[in-house]
Every structure is written in C-alpha cells, then in structure tokens.
Structure 1
Amino acid sequence: MGGPESVSKGVGSGDVVGDRELRVSDAEREHVGQLLQRAVGLGMLSLGEFTERMDTALAAKTRGELNAVLIDLPGVRLVGQPAAPPSTFVNAAPSFVKRPISPGLAVPSQVTPSNVVRSRLSGVNRRGPWQVAPMLHLNNWLSGVTLDFTEAIMSTQVVELHLDDYLSSLTLIVPGEATVDLNALDLIGSSVNNKVRTGPPIGPLHLIVHGRVRFGSVTAKHPFRAQLRKLMGG
C-alpha cells in the first residue's frame, strides 16, 4: 500500500480515504493564511486574489481544498506531502517544494517580519524610526495596535495596509501633511474615525487601508502636538 499517497481505513467501515480527503485543522488553515500573506508581500498575489484565497482557506475542510490555494505558488510545500532535502527548498523557485505544513514552516528569505503585524491579546506599538514596507498585513485578535508614522523610515510615498482584525483597535498616527484613505474597509460591528485628509496623495505619506474589521475600531489622526497647535490656531 506504500506510495506517494498514503491511505487510511475508516474505523469499522473498511472505507479507504486518500490524503486529499483527510480533514485539516484550524492551525493548518491559519498557517496557510500566513503563507498567502507572505505571497502578497513578494508580489505573487494581488490583494483581491489574497482575499479570495483566504476565504477559500478558512472554509476548507480537506487537504485537497486547502492545497488548492497554494498549488501555483513557487517555493511552498503542500499539506501532507513528504519533506524534501533542506537544500531543495533554497533552490525551489520556480518549481514546487513540498512538505507537511506546520507552525514552524520556513519561508523565503526575502520576506521580513516587518511586513506583518500579528498579535493575540496584546498591545503593539511601532514608534520612532521604524522601517515601513510598501505593504503591511495586520492580523490582530483582542489587541490594541498603534502605528506611528511621524518618524518612520519610508521606502515609498504610498503604503497599503491590509487588515484582518477581530475585537481590536488600530490607531494610525501620521505627519501633518499625510493623507489616509479608510473608505475601502469592510466593517462588521466596527467604527472608523478619520481625523486627517483622505487625499489626494500630495504629501510625504498616503495610507490606503483595505480589509476587514470585525467588532473593532480604526482611528487615523495627527500627533497630539499637531492637534494642539491646530486648536490654538498655530
């Protein structure tokens, strides 16, 4: 019975189930979501493709359904496939390299942790001269996140933020001439408060915020000192 696709027998039924029909766990779905986020950061997927594939991954019940969202991405090992030698992963692109998915899965070295803000029951603050990627992915549950762009090191004028937040608050602090577009957010039981201009992007920074916020809040504002000067007519 040995072969590339192992089988198992249903208890008491004698049925044979292939690897593609095996059920997947929440941990596997979540990790596939992380791989899709990294694929966006590498320019392999558009935001629209990412959203469509994430919906498919979250609804997947079997390995076959979950693997479908990864099958055309180079350098990704699919759920339930045997591990290849370590050197094979380094030379993977553009061919596929496959291995069982797990929370410690290695990813291409071009992806940096600064592309992703992910927290659970936590508080996250990015302030001072932090390096801002052209696209940021936020996935926060029951957390408070503050991104302060006033002293940040920018690589592009336009920065895109993709949100997938649940019961969390996001505060965006931007320089005086910056603009923030929050109009594309999908809100479920949430609130948005934009205290800065939405555009056009004529200043040093323009934030475009996409994605979904469930039972949370998003606020865009200037630093407190700038707000105080405006109130005093300075």
Structure 2
Amino acid sequence: MGDRELRVSDAEREHVGQLLQRAVGLGMLSLGEFTERMDTALAAKTRGELNAVLIDLPGVRLIGQPAAPRTAFVNNAAPFAKGRPPVSHIPPPPAPPRGAGNVIRSRLSGVHRRGPWQVPPTLHLNTWLSGVTLDFTEAIMSTQVVEVYVDDYCSSLTLVVPAEATVDLNALDLIGASVNNKVRTGPPIGPLHLVVHGRLRLGSITAKHPLATHWRRILFGPGV
C-alpha cells in the first residue's frame, strides 16, 4: 500500500482546511473554490484524496518527493513559500483545558444549547460547516462574564441572550465573515456579559434577544 492509500485523520483534514484558508487570503482561491475544496477535504478518506485539493497551490511539498514542487503533504507545518505572510497576525484561540467540559466541537452538524444548561466561565467552540445556537435566556450562570473562544470554518453561531445581557463581539478576527450584534455591547448591566474572541472564517455570528423581547419593545417601547 502506498502513501496515497493511507487513511487520514480529522487533524489532517483540519490542517488542509487551514492551508485552503490561507490560500484564500493570498488570493490563490476564490470563496467558491474554497467551499468546493473544503467539501472535498471533509469527505476525503485517503491522503491521495486529501492532497488532490492542494495539487495546484505553489510553494508546498508532495508526499514522496524530496524537492518542493507544487502540492502539499498534509502534515507539513510550514505550507507556503518562505517569506509569505500569514493571513492574520492575531493568535489563535487558546487551547481549551482538558476535562473542563467547556468544549463544543462540531463537524457538519447542528448544535443547540437551550433551557437550564450550565454555563462555564469559558466556552470553546471548534466548528466546521455547522450551525450552533447558544440560548442563555434560561441558562444557569456561574459568573457574570462569560468568555467564548471561537475557531470556525463556514459555520453560523447564534447567541440568544436575556434583555439585560450585553455582548462584546469586537475582539473577533474576521476572514470573509459577518457579525450582527443586535444587543448592547456594554458596560455590563445585568447578570450576563458575553465576550467573544477568536477567528471566524467565511461564517457568521449573530447576537440577539428572544423574539418575545423584540416584539415587546416594538409594542411597548424600549423601556419594557
């Protein structure tokens, strides 16, 4: 069995996703091409299938070739040619502490947290092509300030917060992404203040109040 037939892991697929994202930032791929190649990478089972999405990207190395021709080995830690800057100089979200129970990891899935769920002081979201809804209206908080660290590819995150809550989305590193904050940013005036950090690639984040709160304010005024 050759290297091309070897099975690939989720970590290798994620690494290829990072290479494709950098290629978008360097102008090598359009957003449409990125989406098509990400679909192929997520479905890839062998290294040959995974390397196929990198075949025409310059400055990276192929499996089994000593020189640095035109494609990439999926585990190469420095994929692009020397001297080219990364897409962003903002460091990635810190690694979540092991065993803390505060990690939401999703691939091609839908995740919902509603009702009286326990909210830790920090939440780490690692999502690919997923939809995540975090509803804090009935959640049980251990601290007033909750930090949310996002590491996202092509996903949507919806934050539903009670009327008195505030949400700060100003610390995000956005790459082809959108942010829509429909609530106060601060200072904290109620039982919950969300601070969202991290990277959002070709995805979206929306912070909003529940629909009932929205209609009450329309009917009875902002003081309600």
Q: Same fold (TM over 0.5)?
A: yes
**Category of TM-score, reference length = shorter chain:** 0.5 to 0.7
C-alpha distance in 2, partners of 1:219/1:126? 15
Name the amino acid aligned to 2:115. Answer: G
C-alpha displacement at 1:28, in angstroms?
Answer: 7.1
The number of residues matched between the two structures is 138
From 198, 203, 206, give the equivalent of 2:190. Answer: 203
C-alpha displacement at 1:202, in angstroms?
Answer: 1.9
**1:80 alignment partner in structure 2:** none
The one-character-per-residue Cα deviations of 1:181-210 (angstroms, maximum 9, x if unpaired) are: 000100011100000000001211000000
**Residue aligned with 2:171, SS:** coil
Q: Which runs of 5+ in 2 are unaligned?
A: 1-7, 16-74, 79-96
**2:215 alignment partner in structure 1:** 228
From 197, 200, 203, give the equivalent of 1:216. Answer: 203
Q: Deviation above 4 Å: which 4+ runs of structure 1?
A: 28-31
The one-character-per-residue Cα deviations of 1:81-138 (angstroms, maximum 9, x if unpaired) are: xxxxxxxxxxxxxxxxxxxxxxxxxx96xx233x011100000000000000100000
**1:141 alignment partner in structure 2:** 128
C-alpha distance in 2, partners of 1:211/1:117? 14
**1:27 alignment partner in structure 2:** 11
Cα RMSD, aligned residues only = 2.6
From 120, 131, 140, give the equivalent of 2:107. Answer: 120
Q: What percentage of aligned pairs have identical amino acids? A: 75
The 5-angstrom pairing of residues 1-234 of structure 1 reads: 27=11, 60=77, 111-113=99-101, 115-233=102-220, 234=224
**2:55 alignment partner in structure 1:** none
C-alpha displacement at 1:60, in angstroms?
Answer: 3.0
TM-score (norm 2): 0.57
User: Which entry has the higher C-alpha Rg, 1 or 2?
Assistant: 1
**Residue aligned with 1:232, SS:** helix
**1:91 alignment partner in structure 2:** none
